[in-house]
Structure 1
Amino acid sequence: MRARALFRGSALLALVASLSLAGCGDEGAQANHGAPVEVGAVELSAQPVNIRSTLPGRVSAQRVAEVRPQVTGIIQRRLFTEGAEVEEGQQLYQIDDALYQSAYKKADAAMASAKLLADRYARLLADKAVSRQQYDDALSTYRQTAADVETARVNLAYTKVKSPIAGRIGRSSVTEGALVTNGQAQYLAIVTQLDPIYVDVTQSSVELLRLKRELASGELAPGKEGEASLELVLEDGTTYPHRGTLKFGEVNVDKGTGSVTLRAAFPNPERLLLPGMFVHVRVDEGVRPNAVLVPQQAVSRDPAGKAVVWVVKDQKATQREIVVNRTIGNTWLVEAGLAPGESVVTEGAQKLRMLPPNVPVVAKPASNVRVDLGDAATAAPSPRAN
């Protein structure tokens, strides 16, 4: 019984002591709540910023020619190196031309005979020794044989298979001794023009409408000479050394994806770009003259997923919902919710979340912000520390 009483007494003393400590803690917390909280903040400013979009794209050749035979015969020689550059009109194959030489000579002899007859009838017609009908028939025969000669000459020329365009030729699908026919489905080789080369990119029709609206309202100023400047990022993440130009956009929107295809042209002297490559194109849409940029350290998300920041005003910090458009370097482009001259917290936001509203704060210049806009800004100041 004595031991039980001692135990109960010890438990009671422990409970009293814990309550006393809790009361002291609450008093300490209340005291801390009343003291100003030190935070790091930056003051925002308006500045011109070059707005860029990154769009996925595929490389496609400007011109592609499938080389096919236009006469039937046996391939005698292949006259190119696979993978080499060929010129327009360069001979690629030689088809056996023996039959076509013979046909040409035969047609030429028939034309010569018909011409002699037509000339003789012309003289006889002047002396009224032949009728007009006889002369017309002889002249018609001559013209027909002349056409036959031209056909034979063209067929003979077609035995020399030539490249219709300049470019790089791929592998040959036939070898010497192969029989090829006029109009066959199988091509002999493919010639691809690689310089310049096209890149086809897709852009959402919604984004296209937004861009046109901002340009029309003056919210976005067009770039140099009103043309979009294009930069290419390759599959390995490296930047292509040559810049491109936008050629045209499709007049129809894809029903399945709701996107519009844009075609750009890039110089390709090193033949680094090949058809079928997947790339990204950076498009300079224009300049936003009075953009407000907020450091990414200042932006967080509330439980609903909306972007929020802590704004310092009159030595008080209040949380505010904002609308952000895109990232530019290590900042967010603000669409709504913030104005130039306002200060946002980038250091100490975790402390503010644990305190009640309207706690006094002391805003000092932030030490964790180093604004880097990359090449997006156009000779403009960065958000400055408060």
Structure 2
Amino acid sequence: MVKAGHWGRPAGGWTLAIAGLAALSLSACNEKNEYVPPPPPKVTVSKPITGNATLYLELTGNTQAYNQVDLEARVQGFLTAINYKDGQSVKAGDTLFTIQTNTYQAQLDQAQAALQSAQAAQENKQLEYNRQATLVQQQVASVAKADDAKAQLDMAIADTAQAQANVEVAQINLGYTDIKAPFDGVVSNHLQDVGALVGYSGPTKLAQIVQINPIYAYFSVNERQVLRIKDELAKRGRTLRDVRDVPVEIGLASEDGYPHKGTLDYIAPTLDQNTGTLTVRGIFDNKDYAILAGLFARVRIPLQTKSDAIMVDDTAIATSQAGSYVLVLGKDNVVEQKTVEPGQLEGQLRVIESGLTADDQVIIGGNQRAVPGNKVEPEQGQMSTNTETETVAPPPKT
């Protein structure tokens, strides 16, 4: 007779069910948990670009006006007219200010009248001398009278010359009442108003005129840089006297690159003994007034063209305490770190002076996921293009 359980089921069935569950639990505990590593991170790689790169001497300097002078009142009088608007572009010879002219016109008229009087007196003395000279030849008058007439004539001639000089001085002073632009340029704000008395205790500054087309950029080079430029010119059969044909480029603080092209037009003949530098000047076209005088400028001068230069994306270069480096793809797709010596920037490409070969696969994308010593999954990419650099395509894979 089978003994029933509490719920009316056989007690043996429960025992078998519990035993089966325990066996399954023990079997699951005996299985080992195996670690499945994540797939290697994906990165973009490319071989460096090789080509001809122009090497530059990079400096800093400042822009200066081609011409810049103060407009001053050189004669005393009241300012009667201002004939321009502040900041206006003017042409050479334009009248900018007018000082009262009546006083100086009257002085000129007075001087001209005195000249006419002197000329009349000279003419009279000339007639008297001619008469006395004739009488002396006829032995009617004494030689002493003829000599006295000659002395009076000489004095009259001198008085006429002085009167003529006074006329010229009066004309010059009258001309000073019109202050004209000495060259094409832009005039600053006026410093004196109409009705002001100017020139009463010396020259009075009225405004300033500046010519910035073309415009200069001044910068300094040290002795070592001077010798480097000299050597590069010598390789081309030229000397420092031939600087007017040497190109120079500048870029302002807010600009990318060096958009303004010009040429050198002056090198100081001697070094400054206090600073050990040589002053150099470049001249630049500035028709649109894009460059103002007095601005900081980055300057570069091309020295030579380097053939087969190795260039990589500037963003592929990182820096550590040990210096600059790039990440490259090594054997079995393992990331390697290579220390490099970066050169100048050519557009988006950086010239690599040393530490990299043309066959290296440089990681140019996903650098944050690439760790030296770890494997990666590379994808072929392309370096940035640079229209300013004549590039040669990297050799094909073999």
TM-score, with length taken from structure 2 = 0.68
Greater mean deviation of Cα atoms: 330-339 or 113-122:
330-339
User: What is the Cα deviation at residue 63 of structure 1?
Assistant: 0.5
Instruction: Give the whole-Å Cα distance in 2 for the aligned partners of 1:144 and 1:254.
Output: 50
Contact 2:266 2:282 survives alignment (8 Å): yes
Indicate conservation of the 8 Å contact 1:73/1:181, yes or no. Answer: yes
> Residue 266 of structure 1: CA displacement?
2.2
**Which amino acid letter does the alignment assign opposite residue 379 of structure 2?**
S
> Number of matched residues?
341
1:82-105 Cα distance to aligned partner (Å, 9 max, x none): 211222122222222222222222
The partner residue of 1:192 within 210, 216, 234 is 210
Q: Per-residue deviation at 1:61?
A: 1.0
CA contact (8 A) 2:244 2:263 kept: no
**What secondary structure does 1:142 align onto?**
helix
CA-CA distance at 1:175 after TM superposition: 1.1
Match runs of 1:54-93 below 5 Å: 55-93=59-97
The residue number in structure 2 matching 1:343 is 360
Say which SS state the counterpart of residue 298 (structure 2) adopts.
strand
Question: What is the CA-CA distance between 1:269 and the residue it aligns to?
Answer: 2.1
Separation (CA, whole Å) in 2 of partners of 1:67 and 1:226: 32
Secondary structure of 2:255 counterpart: coil
Give the corresponding residue for 2:386: 374
CA shift, 1:167, in A, is: 1.1
* Aligned equivalent of 1:137, options 133, 142, 155: 155
Aligned-pair Cα RMSD in Å: 4.3
Contact conserved, 1:42 with 1:383, CA < 8 A, in 2?
no
Identity of aligned residues (%): 25
Cα gap change, 1:105 to 1:301, in 2 (>3 Å): closer
Q: For 1:275 and 1:260, locate their aligned partners in 2 and report how far apart those are by CA, in whole Å.
A: 21
CA 1:99/1:186 → structure 2, altered by over 3 Å: closer, same or farther?
closer
Query: Partners of 1:87 and 1:244 in 2: how far apart?
Result: 24
Matches within 5 A, 1:1-386: 46-52=50-56, 55-128=59-132, 130=146, 131=148, 132-181=150-199, 184=202, 186-203=204-221, 205-213=223-231, 216=234, 227-237=245-255, 243-253=261-271, 259-294=277-312, 304-305=322-323, 307=325, 322-338=340-356, 342-344=359-361, 346=363, 353-354=372-373, 367=379, 369-372=381-384, 374-382=386-394
CA distance in structure 2 between the partners assigned to 1:339 and 1:212 by the alignment: 31
CA apart distance, 1:324: 3.5
- Asked if the contact 2:232–2:303 (Cα under 8 Å) also holds between the matched residues in 1, the reply is no
Distance (Å, rounded) in 2 between the aligned partners of 1:47 and 1:367? 24
3-state SS of paired residue (2:205)? coil
Aligned-partner residue type, residue 51 of structure 1: L
Please give the secondary structure, in 2, of the residue aligned with 1:187. Answer: strand
Structure 1: segments with no counterpart, 5+ residues: 1-20, 26-37, 219-224, 356-360
Alpha carbons 2:111, 2:166 under 8 Å: kept: yes
8 Å Cα contact 1:75-1:178 kept in structure 2: yes
- Counterpart CA distance in 1 for 2:340 and 2:258 is 36
Give me the whole-angstrom Cα distance separating, in 2, the residues matched to 1:40 and 1:82.
Answer: 58
8 A Cα contact 1:83 1:168, kept in partner? yes
Cα distance between partner residues in 2 of 1:161 and 1:50: 50
TM-score normalised to the size of structure 1? Answer: 0.70
**Residue in 2 aligned with 1:7?**
none
Contact 1:294 1:334 in 2 (8 A): yes
Q: 1:208 to 1:380 in 2, by over 3 A?
A: farther
